[in-house]
Amino acid sequence: MQHDGWADEGFGPVADAFARIRTDFPDLGSAVTVYANGRKAVELWAGLADERTGRAWERDTAVPVFSCAKGLVAVAAHLLAQEGRLDLDAPVARYWPQFAAHGKEAVTTRMVLGHRAGLPALDRVLSFDEIAAWTPVAEAIEEQKPLWEPGTAHEYHGHVFGFLVGEVIRRLTGLTPGAYFREAIGDPLGLRAWIGLPPEEAGRRAVLVEAEGRPPMPPPEHLLTRIVTMNGALVFPGLDEPHGWNDPALLGMELPGAGAVASASGLAGLYAAAATGVDGGPRLLTDRTVGDAVRELSSGPGWLGFDAGARWGAGFLLDSPFRPMLGPRSFGNDGAGGQFAFGDDEYGVGFAYVANRMIGHGDARARRLVEAVGGCLGR
């Protein structure tokens, strides 16, 4: 299957795997980027960014990447911790006093990063416009009572993850998390990755399409559906509907738990910068900071009783059979459409795969590419 781009000598198997994926799966447009020891070793792209118009996927095409957004937020939080501005083990209320209400006085930022805060969803029903306004979500978090004693169990914190850590970032920096990410990380590194897509980028992004056979969401009252849709204010994936993940209004607002838009090189560049530095530049996160991030906080059955097999560090997925990476120093996040990005300072890697055709749970596209990268590195 034809694609554009290049792979350095020694990384040909990644190009081969990318071509096979595009043959074996109902791919539309996709891209993969791999950094090795701070240098771009693979950059490949192929297919269509917009099936309706026939617009081709380009080298820098960005696409909605759902919960890969959590990686942007987590890197920002760890950067603030590294600078001594944020203590991940201090109560959130140290930075956000109103948060302590209703039994949350002992909740730490680390608990939120590990999905252990007891706040996977909010009781308050917010409108789309209220979510876009930010402050009503922060107020709803203040009003929320934890569903379990914080720190004693875990369950995926979906959107609350982004808003809660994002409000801590805002309290510390004066900037919303999307704005802080761009100022501190995205703009200095030239990364095509945003929480809140700029209007001038809206027409260039890839448009998501649905693959056949994805299972339907549970009923609206189910906690999982409430987590994903913020009690129905958002439509998941809602690709042809207002307030879904092709809606410029959703992609343009700061939805830091699941609303990032990024290119493969933007995500891979973020993780490479965190793990090794890029193009001779300084490393964004120190060895000690990465060590703190990859210490397991949560695994096994969640509060709902379901065990998907994921292992969580402080804000990142860790290497596991559920989401294989390269080893114990790997840290990343995936997205509902099959997107995946991670870094590894032991192997010196920053990796990202993005696509605009959403395939269901167990999507093996990124997994095959990661296996190929591992093979190239002698893993």
pLDDT digits (tens, 9 = 90+) for 77-115: 999 999 999 999 999 999 999 999 999 999 999 999 999
Tell how far CA 311 is from the center of its chain. 15
Computed over every residue of the chain, the mean pLDDT equals 96
Asked if 134 contacts 195 with a C-beta cutoff of 8 angstroms, the reply is: no
The pLDDT-based confidence of 212 (bands split at 50, 70, 90) is confident
Asked if 3 contacts 46 with a C-beta cutoff of 8 angstroms, the reply is: yes
The whole-number pLDDT of residue 2 equals 78
Domain layout of the chain by residue ranges? 4-74+180-376
Task: Give the angle subtended at the CA of 340 by the CAs of 334 and 346, to the nearest 5°.
Answer: 105
Q: What is the pLDDT of residues 247-303, one digit of tens each?
A: 999 999 999 999 999 999 999 999 999 999 999 999 999 999 999 999 999 999 999
Asked if 158 contacts 227 with a C-beta cutoff of 8 angstroms, the reply is: yes
Burial class (CB in 10 A: 0-12, 13-18, 19+), 221: exposed
Mean pLDDT of 16-29: 95
The whole-number pLDDT of residue 361 equals 64
Q: How large is the greatest C-alpha to C-alpha distance in the chain, in angstroms? A: 58
What CA–CA distance (Å, rounded) separates 225 from 360?
16
Global confidence as pTM: 0.98
Mean pLDDT of 321-339: 96
pLDDT for 198 beyond 80: yes
Q: What is the pLDDT of residues 217-235, one digit of tens each?
A: 899 999 999 999 999 999 9
Helix (H, G, I), strand (E, B), or coil: what is residue 42?
Answer: strand
Nearest one of 258, 274, 271 to 65, comparing CA atoms: 258
Amino acid of residue 361: H
pLDDT for 323 beyond 70: yes
What CA–CA distance (Å, rounded) separates 312 from 111?
11
The whole-number pLDDT of residue 135 equals 98
Q: Tell me the fold of 4-74+180-376.
A: Beta-lactamase (3.40.710)
What CA–CA distance (Å, rounded) separates 271 from 183?
17
The pLDDT-based confidence of 362 (bands split at 50, 70, 90) is low
The single-letter DSSP state of residue 332 is E
The pLDDT-based confidence of 214 (bands split at 50, 70, 90) is confident
The whole-number pLDDT of residue 94 equals 98
Asked if 44 contacts 15 with a C-beta cutoff of 8 angstroms, the reply is: yes
Buried-state track 107-125, b at ≥16 Cβ within 10 A, e below 16: bbbbbbbbbbbbbbbbeee
